[in-house]
Each structure stands twice: as structure tokens, then as C-alpha cells.
Structure 1
Amino acid sequence: MARATSAAEVAPTGYAWHVRAEGLRVKAGRRMAVDGLDLGLGVGVHGLLGPNGAGKTTLIRSLATVLRPAGGVLELFGERVAGRADLRALRRRLGYLPQEFGYYKRFTVREFVEYMAWLKEVPKAEVPGAVQRAVERVGLADRADDKLRTLSGGMVRRAGIAQAIVNDPDLLLLDEPTAGLDPGQRVRFRELLHELGADTCVLVSTHLVEDVAAACADVVLFESGKLLFQGTPAELAAEGGPDDVGDSPIERGYSALLASRGKTDGGKAGAW
């Protein structure tokens, strides 16, 4: 049975962006991992690229309301995330898959996704259908009643994606979602992203430039806590040339931008 749609869901939105950041600053421990970020994200699939230590995970965690801003402005769905923001209401509209997520190994896939639906306050009557849809979308319908401890790492990752989408979120945040997936599973995941991006704001953090090229309409390149580039995959590819590092045009554009940033920062950007 199709899920009932509330009046609030079909009412016109009062905001231009699902995510809006202005001068956003977020700390990871004592380090300012996001430093003066200006960013706007709407409906569609956005790829978040950047080298290790760029601040991608800190940014994702702040958008998931796990970390509070240390300065600047962060708005989700037009509501500022600060002070007295109703985080519970915001979180009902979010889907979040961290790089590493906890789960009870004795749970079956279905029990795990049901539990996460309960945490996200999905109405009780809608939970069975929502769980079944989520499990089917990630290709785990035939393993739904298997315990998580019996699954491969890639299957557990797919269960994590299922819990992230079980509440049909307006903003979906995925941190390295393709880790552990085999090539065929990655292709199917890209297809799912295309489907979700039709009416959802999806932000995918990844090290795999080819996933961004195949699945994302918009690329956000992040380095040293700052926005280095935002545009289409074709625009990113155009930043590179035949002498830049990479096996594809988009990889060469990515490496060219990081190299140019490294020159302005004394060669530090992207260093090992």
C-alpha cells in the first residue's frame, strides 16, 4: 500500500536551498576542519570530493546535526541550525550513512532497518512497507531475514544505505557509501542515486572520482576546510589538461585544481 502524503509534504517550500552555509566553521576536536564555507545545495545528486583530511566527514557530520557549527550560518530546509533549533524535527527529514556505523550483529537486516525507522519516528503503520521498500532498493530482499553477522562487508554497507533511506528523507547524506561494494553493486548504487536525486537533495562523499562522474550532476571539491570548486562534472573535467595526473578527464581536472591550490598554499594541498 502506498504511503499517505501529509499536507506538510505537498505544501510549497519556503526556502531556496535544502542546505545553505555562509561562512560556516566547524571544529573536529581542536582543529577547524570546516573554515569559512559558503555553499548552497538543492534537489539533485551532489558529489563531495577532496583528499584525506580535507574536512569532508566533518562537513557531513555537521549537516547531519551531529556536530554544531563553531561559527557562521548553517540552514537546513530554511531553518538555522543553532541555539534552539528543533533538531528532532530536522532529523526526521534526514538520512545519514556515516563511514562507520554501529549495529547489533544479532539483528536481521529487517530488524535493523525497522529499528532505525522507529528511531526516525516513521509512523508505526508505515514501518513494514517503508522497510520492505528500502531493503528492495538496495538489493537485499532475499537476505532481509538473515542476521547481519552472516553478511559480507558489502552487504552490511547496503543495509546501512537501506536505513538511511527508510524514512524517505528530504536530505540524504552518504559518507563513502560505496566502500566494500563490488563493481556491479556500485553500478546499481549509481542507478539508485539517480532515482533518489529526482526529488531529494543527496550529498555523497567519496574518494572515487569515477562514481561522481557517473552519478552526480553537481560536484563540490573541498580542500583544507574550504570550497575549492562547485560545478558540473564536465566543468570539473575542463579544468584539467593532458599533462595533469589522472586516467580520465574528470580525474585530471580534479588533480589540476588540487595542484593549483597546493601552489598557492606552499605545496601543502593534497600532500601525504
Structure 2
Amino acid sequence: MTTGKDDCMTPATGAADIAPKNYAWEIRATALKVRAGRRRIAVDGPSLSLGTGAHGLLGPNGAGKTTLIRTLATVLRPAAGELELFGTSVSGVGDQRAVRRRIGYLPQEFGYYKRFTVREFVEYMAWLKEVPGSDIPGAVQRAVERVGLADRADERMKALSGGMVRRAGIAQAIVNDPAVLLLDEPTAGLDPAQRMRFRELLQELGRDTCVVVSTHLVEDVAAACSDVLLLAAGRLVFQGTPEEMAAAGGPGHPGDSPLERGYSALLRNSERKEGTW
């Protein structure tokens, strides 16, 4: 596929984008439970209402962050509770294509054809997301520009560094101008300058998109997110602003910043309540 000058500013707009909005929240979950394997409950009962803005999802390894992100992306189905996206229940087994067209998703690990160029990869993902064919060239160009890969758009994926591959993954996640954007460890492999640019992009996207970003890097959340969700052992133990999280900690808690100390304090409190220490 080729890109002409006139295509670069063509917006990717479909019927879902211009339909009236008749729901209160992009994401609403009630007493959500999701299994990892047959027996273990990885997400254990959180209730969430998330709208426009950048929402940071924090938690230690094994807390259930990836499982929750995959469930919001409709990759996994809830074992119990209710999940609504754009006012539509996705807890059942019905056709979810209309909902998925409005979602952007970057998993921790994603596959791609190594011989594809960056442009071909993002074009292919736009096609899979059913972006109208006439809109694809412009949508792809805007996506690669937003992640700083315009000068590498015609290089093969196999020739890119790990950080550039990650940025290509972010480009495919935003190519359909999603109403809900789900990012699982998006800054893995990015250098400090790229992480700063990503934070700026996250703030920009959060102005008119519901973004949920899972990360281990507390400072990324502090710099770019309007609120924070903290998972521990599959349970939601905190939801509030970065400032409120920071206020939960004190000098006696581990961490190099007020937010890290607040994070440590909230995790310690959750462990006390669960009796795990």
C-alpha cells in the first residue's frame, strides 16, 4: 500500500464514531472475577467505572494487571460479575466485533511478520480492525508520526530495535482512533527520551480517549495519568489521584518519591488485611 500527500490528513471515521453517545462510562465493571487457568481467580471482584482520561494500573507481579487488561480487551471472558464497554455487556458470548472496532490494545508480547515494514504492519492491523479502506493510508501515517516512527515507516520490522518495535506496537493500537485504549507495559524497552515522549502522547490521548495503562513504573503514572488503580492479589485496593496515593505514604515507607512511598504503604496495608505477612 502507498501513501499520498492528500491521504495524510484523512481521518479514520466510521459509523461508531459519529453515533450518539448514550452511556455514562466507556468501561464499567461490577464485581468482576476472571480465572487464570481452571482454578485460580486472577481478578477477584473489582468494580470500576472509567471514562475519558489516562488511568494508571499499578500492582506487583502477579497482581492481575495483565489479566484485567486482557479482559477489558475482550480476549478473556469474566467468570462472574458484569463488564460493560460503551454501555454494551461483553460478559456473554455474543458477537463483539462492533465493540472491538472501538478498542485499541497493546499486549505485553505481540506478533508480527518480520518482513513487513512498519507501515505494512500498521496498515494490516488497521485492516483487521475494519478501518474503512479509504481512511487507512492517512490513519497509518498519523499513527506512525505520533509515535516518532515516520522516518522509519518503510523499514522492515526485523531491522528495528526493541524500543522501536514497541513504538510500532503503540502505533497499531491507536491507528483506529479508539475510544478505549488498553496498554500493557507500553514503555518496556523504551529509552528515557522515548519514555518522556510517550508520557506526552499519553496525556494527549487522555484528553478525548479512555486510556488504561498497566505499568511497573510509578513515575510514568505520576507524570501522565489523572488517576491510579492499584491491584493486589487480584483485588482493587486503591483508586484515586496520584496526589492521594502519595499522601498514603510517609518517610518510613520504602520508595524514592512520595508516590512510590504511597504505593508501598497501600500494598503493605492490603497485605495486613489479607494476613499475608
Fold shared per TM-score above 0.5: yes
| Match in the other structure for 1:112 | 121
| Match in the other structure for 2:157 | 148
What CA deviation, in whole Å up to 9, does each residue of 1:135-177 have, x standing for no partner?
0000000000000110000000000000000000000000000
CA distance, structure 2, for counterparts of residue 264 and residue 71 of structure 1: 24
Contact 1:79 1:85 in 2 (8 A): no
CA distance, structure 2, for counterparts of residue 5 and residue 193 of structure 1: 21
| Match in the other structure for 1:187 | 196
| Match in the other structure for 1:91 | 100
Task: Identify unmatched segments of 5+ residues in structure 1.
Answer: none
Mean Cα deviation higher: 76-85 or 127-136: 76-85
The one-letter amino acid paired with 1:79 is: T
What CA deviation, in whole Å up to 9, does each residue of 1:201-236 have, x standing for no partner?
000000000000001001000111111000000000
Query: What's the TM-score, normalizing by structure 1?
Result: 0.96
Is the partner of 1:37 in helix, strand or coil?
Answer: coil
Out of 214, 221, 227, the residue aligned to residue 236 of structure 2 is 227
What CA deviation, in whole Å up to 9, does each residue of 1:66-95 have, x standing for no partner?
001111000000000132433111110000
The one-letter amino acid paired with 2:195 is: R
| Match in the other structure for 2:36 | 28
The one-letter amino acid paired with 2:72 is: L
Shift of 1:262: 1.1
Structure 1 segments (4+ residues) deviating >3 Å? 4-8
Equivalences for residues 156-235 of structure 1 within 5 A:
156-235=165-244
Out of 67, 74, 88, the residue aligned to residue 65 of structure 1 is 74
Q: How many residues align?
A: 268
Equivalences for residues 232-243 of structure 1 within 5 A:
232-243=241-252
| Match in the other structure for 1:131 | 140
CA distance, structure 1, for counterparts of residue 128 and residue 268 of structure 2: 44
Counterpart check, 1:19 vs 2:20? no
The one-letter amino acid paired with 1:190 is: R
| Match in the other structure for 2:6 | none
The one-letter amino acid paired with 1:21 is: A
CA distance, structure 2, for counterparts of residue 180 and residue 132 of structure 1: 23
Shift of 1:11: 4.1
| Match in the other structure for 2:5 | none
Contact 1:92 1:169 in 2 (8 A): yes
The one-letter amino acid paired with 1:172 is: L
Contact 1:24 1:73 in 2 (8 A): yes
Is the partner of 1:74 in helix, strand or coil?
Answer: strand
The one-letter amino acid paired with 1:131 is: V
Contact 1:220 1:230 in 2 (8 A): yes
| Match in the other structure for 1:9 | 17
Shift of 1:14: 1.1
Percent of paired sites with the same residue? 74
Mean Cα deviation higher: 3-12 or 98-107: 3-12
Counterpart check, 1:102 vs 2:111? yes
| Match in the other structure for 2:87 | 78
Query: What's the TM-score, normalizing by structure 2?
Result: 0.94
Counterpart check, 1:43 vs 2:52? yes
Mean Cα deviation higher: 193-202 or 78-87: 78-87
Counterpart check, 1:267 vs 2:276? yes
Contact 1:92 1:121 in 2 (8 A): yes
